[in-house]
Chain A
Amino acid sequence: MTLKKWHCEKFGLGNQAFYWLHGWGHDLNAFKRMALLFKNGTVHTLFDQPGFGKTPALPEGATTREYADILAAQLAGTKDAIFIGHSYGGRVAVQLAAHYPEMVKAIILIGGAGLKRKRSIVFKVRAAALRALGRVARLFDFFFKTQYRAAYIARFGSADYRNAGPLRGTLVSAVNEDLSQIARQISCPTLLIYGSEDTETPPEIGRKYENLIPIARYTELAGYGHTDILSRGAYQCEAIIKSFLKDLDHA
């Protein structure tokens, strides 16, 4: 495990610390617009997570738990911080809240990933068939030195998978991971914000989290998708987060 500090940007003055964890394929800039709306009286750290932006990747196949462990090691001594995660960053925030409860005052997931979606039978059959095809392609390549696997990835692999490079192992482990059990262990208050038109982490996932996490508030923003919730949805998120923080202080 590398213990090199993650690249980050910091701003703001105050006692309450906020840590922002971007999603897959993004970097610290993803949250910049929104984080700046909170700068009064609070301190903000926007991270480049390993493998993105200016932070080097972790060894092949690192899991979200390892991301959380390394982050916790870096922030040793931190107490009562607020972690905000988008998509993949949400997974890391969930791991952190479950395993390092003393560090975390609350977590906020915006389009947070980590739970399995309900899929139709047709989808499952298709996915199983495609996986089998992928294995056959790999087998062919192994025996006959063909390039079928590459062609298979180009044709059927997701954009994230194709572009993952050395992070491919991490991506695969993340996609296959199910944080249901871990979410149950979260003891801090959790805010869940999901865009109604999000197709990557649909509202369904937020609802599931709401049921799993003991103290959770779920809000759905009508008309927003997975990524534009961070840009044009920044103000709506700001309003929801601020009222959550207010209730947190009064709790």
Chain B
Amino acid sequence: MAEKKVIAVVFGGRSVEHDVSILTGLQFLEALDPGKYTGLPVYVDALGQWWTGSILSKRSEYPIKKTHHTALTQLTLDLATPANGRPQFLTFQKGIMGEKRQAIPFDLVVPAIHGTNGEDGTLQGLLDFAGIPYAGCRPLGAAATMNKVFAKRAARTAGIKVLPELLVNRPAQGQFLNANTLKEALTNALGTETYPFIVKPCNLGSSVGVSKVNDMDGLMAALMSAFRLDSAVIVEPFVPNLVEYNIACRRNEKGVVETSAIERPKREAELLDFKNKYLAGRKTGGAKLDTGPSEGMASLNRVLNPDELTAKQVNFIKTCSSQLFDELNLAGSVRIDFLSDEKTGELWLNEANTIPGSFAYFLWEAAKEPMSFLSLTNAIIEEGFTLSAGRLGNTTADAGGATLFAGD
């Protein structure tokens, strides 16, 4: 039997979605086929330091206590992949002969960091640069979907229905937002200045920093608070009778884009915010965390395959999501979110999450042809190996006839 491949799942990260990412990462590790792969938990803390250690597999160890850092090993990623081609992490251990360098080899990285510095193409670019195989979207697709305005423009160009939006950049130091120019910009971009509007940061997911505003004062306040999270903010018209629908897409082994079940996240408040998206039903004080695959995104109140959707609407969601997946050449399990007016049934594509919470496994398990989380992790990993292997082919200078310093 071939040696098991070591799969480094990187989670946590310098992102507002740090904690959600921990759940996603641990769930992926738990769903790895133990006959084929060995999981290596790699935790990126809020300062951006990388760690590994067996205590990372336990939800009850989080947040990692300072004293526990002794149970962890700090890692650095070796960007100069060694000659045998197997990527490695490096650790430095103090011994009597000074510092000793130790290598922890692995075969593939699975980025499980949501949001900035993980889902946005930066980590992917770094790994491509180092020639390290990784799972999921490539830098272009990851970056394109992370920027909501860019993603919407790409979708619009492809003929996919999206809401109009106004992009507001954070004013320079010492400058302030001007109500009059804002008013004008709103009318230009959205055709009208009819409240309410939705304000959201341009580059964040998980509904972080999203708010609904009813007047100019509210808009200014919402913009200011959103600027604390992101340098660019989107203002969109508010969809009355809002319901959301999510679907996941992935490319199967034959190269065809497949779609999962559709879900409608249930909501009690008028708008999904971070708290009721992730903390729904959780009581204060000691959260019961070590219960496994049912928590996090999956235990949130959701309706899978909601029956109010007509065949036409289902078709719209499936077609638009597959189209966007193809258009931006995405990979992995990507969740694509739609907005809908419950009364009119009108639908708009909202955004794509290339590293969705829990890798959206529950949507695949509820698909017409159900796919278990186990097969999903297998597929994501195999796809990662294939994509990384086929990236550029031979790119040494002599291949393109660009040799300047020829030897004898």
Residue from B54, B57, B294, B374 within 8 A of A238 (CB atoms): B374
Q: Are A231 and B291 in contact (CB-based, < 8 A)?
A: yes
Q: Are B30 and A233 in contact (CB-based, < 8 A)?
A: yes
B147 CB → nearest A CB, Å: 34
Q: Are A33 and B294 in contact (CB-based, < 8 A)?
A: yes
Chain B residues closer than 8 Å to A239, beta-carbon distance: 33-35, 374
Taking CB atoms and an 8 Å cut-off, the chain A residues in 181-233 that contact chain B are 219, 221-223, 228, 231-233
Q: Are B374 and A231 in contact (CB-based, < 8 A)?
A: no
Q: Are B372 and A223 in contact (CB-based, < 8 A)?
A: no
Does A236 sit at the interface, judged by CB under 8 A? Answer: yes
Q: Are A33 and B32 in contact (CB-based, < 8 A)?
A: no
B256 CB → nearest A CB, Å: 21
> Known contacts A37-B372, A40-B370, A235-B372: does B291 contact A240 (CB below 8 Å)?
no
Does B293 sit at the interface, judged by CB under 8 A? Answer: yes
Nearest-neighbor residue (CB-CB) of B59 within chain A: A232
> Known contacts A239-B35, A240-B35: does B374 contact A232 (CB below 8 Å)?
no
Q: How far is the CA of A187 from the CA of B97 in the complex (A)?
A: 57
> Known contacts A223-B57, A232-B30: does B372 contact A238 (CB below 8 Å)?
yes
Taking CB atoms and an 8 Å cut-off, the chain B residues in 281-297 that contact chain A are 290-294
Q: How far is the CA of A240 from the CA of B35 in the complex (A)?
A: 7
13 contacts between A and B (CB under 8 A): A33-B293, A37-B372, A219-B34, A222-B54, A223-B54, A223-B57, A232-B290, A233-B292, A235-B30, A235-B373, A235-B377, A236-B33, A236-B34
Interface of A is mostly: helix
Q: Are A234 and B293 in contact (CB-based, < 8 A)?
A: yes
Report the interface size for chain B: residues with CB under 8 A from the other chain: 20
Chain B residues closer than 8 Å to A243, beta-carbon distance: 35
Q: Are A232 and B35 in contact (CB-based, < 8 A)?
A: no
* In the complex, per-residue mask of B1-33: 1 if CB is within 8 Å of any chain A CB, else 0: 000000000000000000000000010001111
Q: How far is the CA of A228 from the CA of B292 in the complex (A)?
A: 7
Q: How far is the CA of A233 from the CA of B34 in the complex (A)?
A: 11
Chain A residues closer than 8 Å to B54, beta-carbon distance: 222-223
Nearest-neighbor residue (CB-CB) of B292 within chain A: A232
Nearest-neighbor residue (CB-CB) of B374 within chain A: A235
B2 CB → nearest A CB, Å: 14
Chain A residues closer than 8 Å to B31, beta-carbon distance: 235-236
Residue from B32, B58, B291, B294 within 8 A of A236 (CB atoms): B32
A61 CB → nearest B CB, Å: 34
Q: Are B33 and A232 in contact (CB-based, < 8 A)?
A: no
